[in-house]
A and B are shown apart, each in its own frame.
Chain A
Amino acid sequence: MIKKEKPKERFSYDPKKIVKKLEEIGNQIYEAVREGRNPYIDVPTRGISNIYYDKKSKLIKMGKQTSRRYFLHVAHARKFMQTLLIASYIKRLVSEGKHASLREAYYANKHSIGGSKENTFEDQSESNPIIEDLERTLGVLREEMHITADRRGYIYGDITIQDGEDEFNTSRLGMGGWAVPGTVEHLKFTQINVDYALVVETAAMADRLIEEKFPKKQNALIIATQGQASRGVRRLIHRLHYEEGLPIIVFTDGDPYGWYIYSTIKQGSINLAYLSDKLATPGAKFVGMTMDDIKRYGLERVTEKLKGVPPNKKGGPTADYKRILEEMEYPWFQNKEWQRQFKLALKLGVRIEQQALAHKSLEFVAKEYLPEKIANEELLP
């Protein structure tokens, strides 16, 4: 049986830490300038060249390359200024206990520079990377710096959350569950009465499970990602797993996109490699859809063809086929089980959606498919 495990991390949100880190950077620059040295900020390098897969922790991680951003350098000066601007803005946000979106952070810091036609930021595409730079430099999440990400996804199940002054049970908020906010850092889990969390790709499937009373019957928490999991949802999954010991089981469509959602939840993404420690959950497991489900549950007639040109055809591989071949190469998919899935998908040339299970009956997924597979631990690593 899937059961709660022992927690490995503790609630660690501390706004003072962020402020201290920002002040350290400020002081280091001030000292340099006072002594007549060229001040700089070391920023870990962005980009694929500074990314690697750490086999031990099973995470995509950021390497040690940093680039030094000097003030007395014509090519650096503007970014140096922007970095300090955002840093001071974050210090204010955090000390005042306020949150801002990326867009708000952009507008709050955009103004014209005296004596020139230049603006501090010309476009949000200038401020977003500076915020990411600071995440990497400080080793903290954007959310910890009170910059919120887009919210997407919701949860439903018997857990009690304390959010500021509010406390609520996410199984008592109606069929729609509780929408996961952009920032989940400050949330406290006061009561956890579930055995595991089921992460569901589509809202339709999550709603189906809630209607069938699956969370109650199976003692599970439903987490609907609504496509690719947002940073808030990923951080929530991470915290539930490591701070509360909840096993994480992922349920997506049986196609390259679904598998990639799983991959991101489990190992982190290339874009946010520097945050894998906080966002990824390598302990997550995968319940479906698998290629084997098609035969096992007689779903052959409700499969869809893979898009694109297969690798053995002229011009191939493209689209889905290409994506599958790429995923086959991921270090964390280098195991018998997953290689078999990819090979089968390529051989059959089909994909299978979660909702295809409705072909059997509406209740089938909640009453037979999931309970059986989870009870028997028929899960992919």
Chain B
Amino acid sequence: MAKSEAKELFKEFKIQSVSEFFRRNAAMLGYTGKVRSLTTIIHEAVTNALDACEEAGILPYVRVEIEELGKEHYKIIVEDNGPGIPEKFITHVFGKMLAGTKAHRNIQSRGQQGIGISGAVMFAQMTSGKATRVITSTGDDVTLEAWVMIDVDKNEGKVVRKIRHKNREGWRGTRIEMEVKDVRYIRSKQGPYWYLKLTAIANPHAHIELIEPDGKLIVFPRGSEEIPDPPEEMKPHPRGVITDDIFRMAKKTRRNSIKRFLVGEFSRISDQKVDEIVRYMAALRLIKSVEEDKKREQLYERLANGDVKLILKGFGKRGKAVLRETSKIMEKPPEKLTWHEAEEIIEAFKYIKFLAPPTSGLRPIGDENIERGLVNILSPEFVTSLTRPPKVYRGGIPFQVEVGLAFGGNLTGFDILRYANRVPLLFDAGSCVTTSAVKSVEWKRYKVDNLEDAPLVVFVNVISVHVPYTSTGKQSIASESEIYEEIRLALMEAGRRLKRYLSGKHKKLHQVKRRKTLEKYVNEVAQALSILIEKPPEEIRTHFVNLIERRFEEAAQSEGGA
């Protein structure tokens, strides 16, 4: 069964042609700095494992082992119980730049660029010169041991050595071993430990283990048996794409005309919308030809107001001719679409009103799972979380915000745990919209007086098909005002819950203390009163105990009603 799942999955693989990409863009891909490079490698491997398990419906078990071989020289081993990799896909998974199951799919996923694990293979190869050892089985009778390298000129993965073993125990999963240099293991908030801890919180269905270089085993146990639904593939929304996307997609589609391509592969584009696109493209061509600046500006303004038909009329015969030209584009086969035409379509998209995109493709972690994750890994005293309804930013890109608060218990200080599509963000916290939104909340209102010293952990996950990162390093989210507002609103609601909890707790503690104070004196009072009124102290004592009991019952009831 696992085998068929795997085959299904890997059918999606398509090869993209970008070569030597990594060598030039190592920094951009997260391979900058000794600590960060190590974290990135582990991130890529763990992400692959979790994604594969999720898509195959397997509860993930991920084990990360870091062995110190010398100064800034490590062996990294990542093993999972995922679906395994069929032999013919090994070079694709580990060897191709921009090859992957998701780069060309419009899907909310942990990684987005499709460089993924092949980047890690590349990094290992560049720093240590060693091939990456892959041991994998889809659960059939063969376990494959392969050494993978990347042919930098040809942009191809090569299996330099391959051994087939009998898989007697029916093992299924993938184990990757790579040797890297120029990296450093530190137990800091940018290191693998912190990364895995945050990953465990956001993925309570995963069991994650880490063996640190000194041999210490750290276990982040599974907190939930619920495998999240794999994200649905969503057709891109016209507002969410750039020229390159359309150009690239047009080259790959099987549709036979550009019109069919647009209607079929984008959301919210109908036949009528294509006619509208044609009119706008024509209008834009015509407006560009106007020489007088002032007049041109006026026309752009009118176009933005939707006066497209009147504008075309205004150009008379020429207008009709241009309209015919742009209509013809739509009849061409998609692979004939030129870069310039793609640009024109994108420009037209900007003037046309589209329905907001469907949000069904967004997959939040969910309140319950966030709470499970926080409780399981952090052992706080109080936890709450909430998922806001989906919203759009930049007029068309759907996104959704989830937040969680953990307070007290084993927590010792304040932390912000930032996530984008469940992936922990460890770097560039200062420029991230999450950080600024968290800081903008007036925590004092929610009984958190001194934020920096409070035993409070703020969890924020921003979910989107297209998360607006500030840079290609993908470690901080841009300050889109809609996202900023959503995070704030979510945190304020969670803050109100925290406040309710804290004030209730104070009240309760206070009541317990009061009761104890009174009970303490009952014996003394009963004894003294028994001398004064010459009645047995036990009888008096009973009356006093009942009095206190009744008084606190009333207090508890009036509190419960409030």
Contact = CB atoms under 8 A, between A and B. Distances in A.
Given A23-B533, A30-B529, A85-B528, A36 B520 contact: no
B551 interface: yes
A91 B532 contact: yes
B535 A81 contact: no
A80 B521 contact: yes
A25 B533 CA distance: 9
Contacts of B533: 23, 26-27, 30
Given A26-B529, A26-B532, A36 B546 contact: yes
Contacts of A27: 532-533
Contacts of A33: 540, 543-544, 547
B521 A78 contact: yes
Contacts of A85: 524, 528
A80 B546 CA distance: 18
Contact of B523 (A22, A114, A118): A114
A68 interface: no
A74 interface: yes
A113 interface: yes
A250 interface: no
A36 B547 contact: yes
Contacts of B527: 88
Interface in B517-539: 517-518, 520-521, 523-525, 527-529, 531-533, 535
Contacts of A34: 543
> Residue among A77, A80, A113 with the most chain B CB within 10 A?
A77
A33 B540 CA distance: 8
Nearest to A114: B523
A233 B109 CA distance: 97
Contacts of A88: 527-529, 531-532
B524 A77 contact: no
Contacts of B518: 71-72, 74, 77
B520 A115 contact: yes
B242 interface: no
Interface string B447-473: 000000000000000000000000000
Contacts of B546: 36
B528 A77 contact: no
Most chain A CB within 10 A, of B518, B525, B540, is at B525
A272 interface: no
Interface string A270-313: 00000000000000000000000000000000000000000000
A84 interface: yes
A22 B514 CA distance: 28
A29 interface: yes
B548 interface: yes
A120 B521 CA distance: 9
Nearest to B521: A81
Interface string A18-49: 00001101110110011010100000000000
Contacts of A115: 520
Contacts, number: 74
Interface string B297-336: 0000000000000000000000000000000000000000
A88 B529 CA distance: 7
Interface in B493-532: 513-514, 517-518, 520-521, 523-525, 527-529, 531-532
With a 10 A CB-CB cut-off, give which of B521, B546, B548 has the most chain A CB atoms: B521
A116 interface: yes
Contact of A118 (B520, B528, B547): B520
Contacts of B532: 22-23, 25-27, 84, 87-88, 91
A88 B535 CA distance: 13
A373 interface: no
B550 interface: yes
A92 interface: yes
Contacts of B531: 88, 91-92
A34 B535 CA distance: 13
Nearest to B533: A26
Contact of B550 (A26, A36, A81): A36
Given A22-B532, A87-B532, A91-B532, A81 B551 contact: no
B528 A87 contact: yes
Contacts of A22: 532
- From A22, A72, A115, A118, name the one whose CB has the most chain B CB atoms within 10 angstroms: A72
Interface in A71-117: 71-72, 74, 77-78, 80-81, 84-85, 87-88, 91-92, 113-116
Contacts of B548: 72
Contacts of B540: 30, 33
A92 B528 CA distance: 11
A120 B524 CA distance: 8
B344 to A, nearest CB: 79
Nearest to A92: B531
Most buried by A among B532, B533, B543: B532
Contacts of A113: 520-521, 523-524
Nearest to B510: A74
B525 A84 contact: yes
Contacts of B520: 113, 115-116, 118
A115 B523 CA distance: 10
Given A25-B532, A36-B547, A88-B532, A81 B525 contact: yes
A84 B529 contact: yes
B543 A74 contact: no
A81 B528 contact: yes
A84 B523 contact: no
Given A27-B533, A30-B529, A91-B532, A72 B551 contact: yes
Contacts of B528: 81, 84-85, 87-88
A115 B518 CA distance: 12
Interface string A332-375: 00000000000000000000000000000000000000000000
Contacts of B521: 71, 77-78, 80-81, 113
A88 B551 CA distance: 26
A292 to B, nearest CB: 57
Contacts of B529: 26, 29-30, 84, 88
Contacts of A80: 521, 525
Given A81-B524, A87-B528, A92-B531, 7 more contacts: A23-B532, A23-B533, A26-B529, A34-B543, A72-B551, A77-B517, A77-B521
Q: Which 7 A-B pairs have the closest CB atoms?
A: A26-B532, A88-B531, A84-B528, A88-B528, A81-B521, A26-B533, A33-B543
Interface of A: 22-23, 25-27, 29-30, 33-34, 36, 38, 71-72, 74, 77-78, 80-81, 84-85, 87-88, 91-92, 113-116, 118, 120
15 contacts: A23-B532, A30-B535, A30-B543, A36-B546, A72-B547, A74-B517, A74-B518, A77-B517, A80-B525, A85-B524, A87-B528, A88-B528, A88-B529, A92-B531, A114-B523
